[in-house]
Amino acid sequence: MALRRQQEREADAMTAQIVGERTHSDALLRLAVRRALTDEQFWKPFDQRATREPSRRGKSIRVSSPRFSTTSINWMRDPRFGLN
């Protein structure tokens, strides 16, 4: 654990040295905000549904998040991608 923290600090220091402290800190802030928004707006509805409903093992899962509608994943059904 300590080695991981040390390596993370070294990586942050090198990144700040390469791109500049302001750019590095802006990028870290953007990542933190995006993760928080993703957790709140995308994953939260799935977590709530999992709490409300029993296990659906073996059944398909219907996407019900308002931020991730089925129309936004229609590309997956396109035969050119071979995912259907």
Q: What is the 3-state secondary structure (H, E, C) of 29-82?
A: HHHHHHHHHHHHHHHHHHHHHHHHCCCCCCCCCCCCCCCCCHHHHHHHHCHHHC
- Domain count within the chain: 1
Contact criterion met (CB below 8 Å) for 46 and 66: no
pTM: 0.51
- Pairwise CA distance, residues 67 & 82, whole Å: 25
Q: What is the pLDDT of residues 8-62, one digit of tens each?
A: 999 999 999 999 999 999 999 999 999 998 988 888 888 888 888 766 665 555 5
Range of the domain at 45: 2-53+60-81
